[in-house]
Structure formats: structure tokens, C-alpha cells
Chain A
Amino acid sequence: MIFFSALWTSVAWVLAVLVPLIAVLSFGFSGQSSAEGAAGFFDPLILSVVKLTLVQAASSTAICVLMGYPLGLFLGKWLQFHPRSRIPTLMALPYGVSTLVAAMAWIILLGRNGVLSGLGIFPDWAYTLKAAILAHVFLNVPWVALSVAYSRTQVPLREIDASITLGGSSWQIYRFVTWPRVKWGLLSAAVQVFSLCVMSFTLVLILGGGPPVETLETLLYSFIRYRALDIQSAVICGLWEMVLTLAPWFVLIVFRRWAQHNEKGLKWGVHFQPISGVGPPLYWGWLLSGVAIFFILPYLVVFSAPLATWHTLALGLIRGDWFEALVISIELACLSAALSVLTAILAVFSLKTLPRMSPLRRLFETLLTLPSGLSILVLALGFWLAYGQWVDPFEGSLAAMASVQATVFFPLAFRILWPLSEIGSFTQLDAAFTLGASRFQVFRWVEWPRWRGPVVSSIAAVAGGSLAELGAVSFFYSEKLIPLPLLISRWMAKYRFDEAQGLAAFLLLVSCFLIFFAFRIGRMSEMRGVLR
């Protein structure tokens, strides 16, 4: 079993990450001298886009951290006393918002004929860098807040009680008790947001107003999707992107290892342990719910399509106008989720056999989460170059779409499942074997209850992400293989703007439902595990 898991994980990583990357690099630099390669890398136009990408991603991340950090601290404290709260689920909903839907919503809001303009608020931010940053902030603040909140729930309340008894001020409690526990959650969320903003495509493309507001991803797109195929320049953009997204992760990992020596004595609390005593006042819950709803509110404007649109859409569904696209999207979401979650389960199985602090385990962890720092366009291009004999973007390939999506969403599934390798119910396993249970029975009654929640969660999270994803889809579609996000942009091209907006609203509803479901199941199982 362990051998099979390790074999599958290794083969999947080599085929889905390594081979496409090598294909892109070798195709990009074939027949070029190192001097030519270096000249391309430091081309003034590309450097100016690198600079703008950095400014955009750093500004978005800074605002997200400034807003998300205090919000996360409050939410974390609330969750320690109300572990069954639905606020984190509400807070997670923006993850399921397709960037296409988000862009459409912000245009409806910020545009000259938009909702804000109708209310007399006209900042004229649409089609500027400010609009792109605003959209990034709304998508990512809840993510930072959730990450900080989960870290905050691990602060042992006994230590806080002890500090108060000893006369510690609020600042001293924060400095010596809370901060050491939440800082890694905050930093990793910040790095994640920074990476996402560096790789941002649709939001910058539509809301940024076009050149000169460009990021590496939009420049890369223009190199590979139009006229003479300029793979060399696309590869240079891809490499810069990798530098910008992976370097902060690398610094964080190294810094964390160094810092862990100083934190050996640190004690951690237990997730969602019900605690008796006086918690935050009840109005905190209302306020936090309000804030969570505030971050999903902008996207609801896509429901403002004229009434006749809904009628047309309903008729269209019966006629089969978009039923096929819906079925394809569902098939794709199922395939991507199955592939990434299955591989993540097997990766967890094989990695948990390695010693906990071993460098080899850290290396594999890093390699497995590498796709989160890769542009989906680079990966799709590499996939095509490497497997072009069998996968033809012109023919359309559901398998290729699913493979690229599964690769990109694998780190998400892996991160949800990975904590399971850290906590093992060894006593129960031992007891079960001693009592003569078969391997299947042990799995069914001891292991599966621990895995069920996170597995369902990761399936729903990947499926939600897949439904909203546009990059892999736009690379491997064909006339007979058009998923919903692509159909929305196609309808826009055919003057069917209101129907496109209606369909975007439907897509938002489905993907948010999946994310809601993922978080509910995940958190319920987490609580069951603790209460057991």
C-alpha cells in the first residue's frame, strides 16, 4: 500500500509538474545562447511589467494583511468560545467566486453606469490599478482572516488567564502569548495572497484597464495566445513569476526552521476545545457575521440581471443552450476533484512514513506544494508541449483540463489532508488490532471517521475551485467542450450580455454552495474528532 502510494504520487508529480516544466524550459530556450537568454530575462519591457506586478501584489497583500489580521484575531477569539459558529463558512465563500464573475461584479459596481455611481458615489476607479487591487482585497482578506483565526484558536486560554493573574497588560499578553502562535499563520497567509496576486489574470486583465497596467500573467498570455507563438518570451514571464511566487515561500520556510529553535518550549492549545467561562459579548458574533457578508456582498450584484433574462435562461436550459456546458463543468469538477484528492490521499499516506522532522520529508512537502506557485497558463502550455501527440488543444480534451486543474488544486487538497498525518489514533488502532479486527474493519471504524470530513471538504473545495477556473479551460476547450465560465465569455462575444450575467450568477451560486458545503463538513468533522 505504502509502495503503491509513493509510486502513484511520484509518477503523478513527474508527469504533471516536472515533465511539463521541462518541456516549457527546453522549448523556450532551444537554440538560444546563455547571453541571449539573459538579455531576454532583463528586457526593459519585461522588467517594467515585473515592477508593476510587484507593486500590485505587494499593495494588495499589505492591505489584506492590515484588514485581515485584526479580523482574524477577533474571529479566532470568538471561535474559542463558539466552536460551532458558521462565521468561518461565510468567510470562506469568496474562495468559490470565479474571477470572471468577480470582474463582472466590480464592473457593475464601479462602472460609470454602475451601482455606486447610481448612489452618487463615483470614485472613477474602474479600469485602473486601484480597481484590480480593490478586487484582490475583497477576495483575499477573508482568507487571511481565516488563517489567523485558526492560529488564534490554538492560543491556550490558561496562559492568558495566568498572564492576567500575574498583572500582564493587554499589550504584554499579545506580545508574549498571542503573537508567537499567530505569526506563522499570518505570514503563510500573506505569502499565499502575494502569490495569488502575482498570478492574477482575469481581474487585472478586465479591471486594470489594459496596458500599461499589466502583470506577468497577462503579458505571458499575450505571448502564447496570439500571432507568432513567442514561447521564449512566455517562458521568461513564467520564470519571473516562479521567482516572485516561490521566493517568499522559500524565505518563509528557511526563516521558520531557524525560528523553531527558539520556540521549542511553546505550548499550543487544542482546536475548538469548548471552554467554560466568560467569552466575548454576543454582539461580536453579529458584527463578525456582518463583516463576512460584507466581503461576499459585491458579487451579489450579478443577480441584478433584468427579469426577462432569467426567463430566457430557464428556456435556454430546456432548449439545451447551456445544459451541455453545465454537464461538462460538473464532469470536469468531478474529475479534477477525484484526481487531486486521490493523489493527495496517497501523498499523505506515503509521506507520513518518513520521520517527522527529516529533511527528506520537508523536501517532498515543498515539491508537492510547488504547483501553487506555478502559473496555470505555464503549466497548460507545458502540458500541451509535452503530451501534444495525444492531447490536442484544438480537439478539446476534458482529460487535459482535468489533469492541469488537478495539478493546480492538488496543494489545496494536500494542505487540507496533511494535518491527518500529524495526529494519529495509535491507541485505537492498537486496540482494534489486538481485538482481532481485520485491516478493512480497522480502516472502516478507526481511520475513515477521521478522514471522512477532510476528504469530503477537499473534494468540495477542489470542485468549487474547478467550476470557477478559466485558465486550463481556455487552453483545452473545443466547440464541443465548452464549460460554463467559457460559455459566459462566449455569450459576451455574441452580444448576449444579460444572459452572460445571469449565467455568472448561476455559476456563483453553485461554486459558493460547494465551498459552503466543504467548510461545513470539514469543520463539523473537526469538532467531532475533538469531542470524541
Chain B
Amino acid sequence: MKPLFFIAGIALPGLFLIQGGVSAVQAAESNEIVLYTYDSILTKGGLGEKLFPLIEKKVGCKIKALAWGDAGQILTRLQVDERRKKPVAQIVFGIDQQIWPSIKAWTEDWKSWTPKGYEKVGKNLKIGNGFLPFDYSFLGVIANTKLVPNRKPVSVFDLTRSLEGFNRHIVLEDPRTSTPGLSFLLMTEAITGSSFIKFWKDFRPHWLTIAPSWSSAYHLFIRGEAPWVWSYFTSQAYHEEKTPSGERNPYQVVLFKEGQPLQIEGVAAVRGSMSTVESRKRIQKFLEVVISPEAQALIPTSNWMLPVRSDVRLPESFKRLPRPLKVIQVKTDPDEVKQVLNEWARSIQP
């Protein structure tokens, strides 16, 4: 018995230390760029699989991509790194314009430098110095037209009524854990203004569920649980690409008369990552490749979003996406967003 316990006593804590030890290494290698990103970028067939080798080739570096959850959690990660005094990443890849005001303090300013090709990026997609947009999509209602044929624009206030015989007709995402969910909440705040709380109280009996993530919400929608879901415009393009030729794609965007919010995804250099001339050059080159035509052409069918460069050839399904009647500007100040979230949480209590 004794040798067994002795081996176990040494081996198990040893395993723990070896596993842990691996995570502490990294970064220092001169040609390595460590980046934080969200999960789906790194999945099989995802954008990372095609984009990162391209960057490695063009920049002459080795990319180490680390993912955890969704875009919002990258901020959590940077906060924890700072508290632990253990910076790891040089790049954050996949942050959006909502999170940008909160994350800005952890990133590098470009100062007078601008990336090559930045002039090709749409004016309305440029958020500020330091944030390089790489893709975007409008957010809106995707309707299953097999269940509800109507595709005409509706008002946000129509959400507080039953829909063609459907009670609880829309699937939403939780604004605290999902980026599209937060955009929806802030859009309703921007549209309803002072009647925000009344709107959500009236709306309460009419949503089917507030799912924790976009993926779980969309799963329910695809299963036919509700005729509407809050999603990306580009979901329509996805379904169109997957619909067999000759058949009609039943999943279509329904516009709001009041307009739609926009999600812009971007990339930024982490504070301190451009401290030497060599590292600055490497990071700058990295950013330039991200908005190069070659890299941007990968966006539509790898990340199912629209590329930010206007000169990139789009698949037909993307060309057919509707244009919003208006673009809604939502709050981005972290304190204001927190206040809206608190009001919302109170308004939906029974």
C-alpha cells in the first residue's frame, strides 16, 4: 500500500503544478504575438483558422490566440491580468464598439499613425483612435416566414402585442451576458425614452424566453419555438447560403420603423505592447493585415459578418441583405449602460 500512496502523493500535486506551469510561460519570445479573442473565432472553420495563418505569413510572427467566452469577457480578462500584475496579451481581437469605452484604458493609442487601408473603411464604422474595425452587422428581428409571413417593417411598440395569433412570439438574449441582447435593450431605451420602464412592463408577457446567449436563443428559433428572434442581419445571408437552390429561404429580416442598432467588431493593441520599436512595427503590421483586402475577403463566409472595407467583393446573399431604415445610436458610456441595466432589471420584476 505504502508505495502506491507515496506515488499518488507525489504524482497528483505534481500533475497540478506541471499543468499550471505551462500557463505561466509564453509571451517573451520575440516573434510571438499573443492575442485574446472570443470563442467562435477559433472554432473549426472559424475566421481564426484562415486569418491567423495569413497574418503569420505576412507579418513573419507566430500567433498564439487565447479565447474565453465572448467579446465582453475579454475586458474581464484584462482587468484580472492587471490585478495579478501579469500582462499576457498584446492584442485584443473581437471587441465591439459597446465594450470599447470600458476597454479603452487598457489599450494603446495610435497617436499620429493610421493603418494602411484605413481610408477604405466606412466612415460610420470608425469608432476612434486605437480601435480598428474589421467587421460589422446590423442587428434586427429575423422572422421565420413559414410561421409568420409578414415581412413589412414594424414598430418596436408592436412587440408589446400578440403577433398573428402567436403569444410569446420572440426569443431574446440576456443583455447582461450577450452582446446582441445588450444592443436590443439599449435600442429600446433609445427609442422609448421616458416610457422605457412601461415598455418593458407591457412587453413582459410577449417574449418567449430571454436566453443566456445568442446561440441558445437561435437554437430555439430554428426549432420553431417562436416566429421571431433577435439576431444579426447576416443570419439571413447564412440561411440563404445554406438553402438548397430552387427553394426559398424562410428566414428573413424584419425591419423596425424606428431603425436598427449596429455592431462593429474591432481589434486593438493592449497597453504596453508597443513599447519597443520592433514590437510597435510588428503590431502595426498585424493591424494593417487585418484590414487588407485579402483578410477582409475571408470575413463574410468565415465569421458571417460584413467586412469593413467597401472594396471587398461580397457573396450574392450578402448583397441582398436589406438596409436599415435608420441607424440607432445607443448609449456606450459604461455608467449609463449600467444604469439602464439596473432599470431594466427592476422593470421586469413581477
Contact = CB atoms under 8 A, between A and B. Distances in A.
Contacts, number: 171
A59 interface: no
A453 B169 CA distance: 53
A479 interface: yes
A106 to B, nearest CB: 12
Nearest to B174: A210
Contact of A342 (B8, B40, B99, B174): B8
B213 interface: yes
Given A228-B79, A395-B23, A390 B17 contact: yes
A390 B20 contact: yes
Interface in A33-69: 45, 48
Given A127-B208, A389-B24, A399-B19, A490 B225 contact: no
Contacts of B342: 45
B65 interface: yes
Contacts of B54: none
B317 interface: no
Given A126-B225, A225-B177, A227-B75, A211 B69 contact: no
Interface string B280-302: 00000000000000000000000
Given A225-B69, A227-B102, A211 B348 contact: yes
Contacts of B345: 45, 211
Contact of B66 (A225, A395, A493, A494): A395
B88 interface: yes
Given A206-B216, A228-B76, A222 B238 contact: no
Interface string A100-138: 000000010001110000000000101100000000000
Contacts of A395: 22-23, 66
A394 interface: yes
A52 to B, nearest CB: 9
Nearest to B182: A227
A4 B9 CA distance: 9
A323 to B, nearest CB: 13
Contacts of B65: 479
A200 interface: no
A210 B22 contact: no
A226 B222 CA distance: 26
Contact of A497 (B15, B213, B222): B222
Nearest to B41: A479
A14 to B, nearest CB: 13
B4 to A, nearest CB: 9
Contact of A493 (B22, B73, B84, B213): B213
Contact of A394 (B77, B168, B208, B334): B77
B1 A440 contact: yes
A255 interface: no
Interface string A191-225: 00000000000000110011110000010011011
A403 B16 contact: yes
B2 A1 contact: yes
Interface string B69-111: 1101101110110001010100000000001001000000000
B350 A4 contact: no
Interface in A370-404: 387-395, 397-400, 403
B23 A226 contact: no
B55 interface: no
A127 B209 contact: yes
Contact of A391 (B1, B2, B19): B19
A287 B174 CA distance: 44
B102 to A, nearest CB: 7
Contacts of B216: 206, 489, 492
B310 interface: no
B43 A212 contact: no
B219 A112 contact: no
Interface string B33-47: 000100110111100
Contact of B23 (A107, A391, A439): A391
Interface in B177-192: 177
Given A388-B84, A394-B68, A399-B15, A495 B177 contact: no
Nearest to B66: A394
Nearest to A494: B43
A454 to B, nearest CB: 17
Contacts of A321: 44
Contacts of A338: 12
Contacts of A48: 349
B23 A392 contact: yes
Nearest to A108: B223
Contact of B208 (A209, A228, A489, A494): A209
A1 B2 CA distance: 8
Interface of A: 1, 4, 8, 45, 48, 107, 111-113, 124, 126-127, 205-206, 209-212, 218, 221-222, 224-229, 321, 335, 338-339, 342, 346, 387-395, 397-400, 403, 439-440, 443, 478-479, 489-490, 492-495, 497
5 contacts: A45-B342, A107-B223, A210-B211, A225-B177, A229-B80
Given A390-B24, A394-B88, 8 more contacts: A212-B350, A228-B76, A390-B16, A392-B24, A395-B22, A443-B1, A478-B68, A479-B67
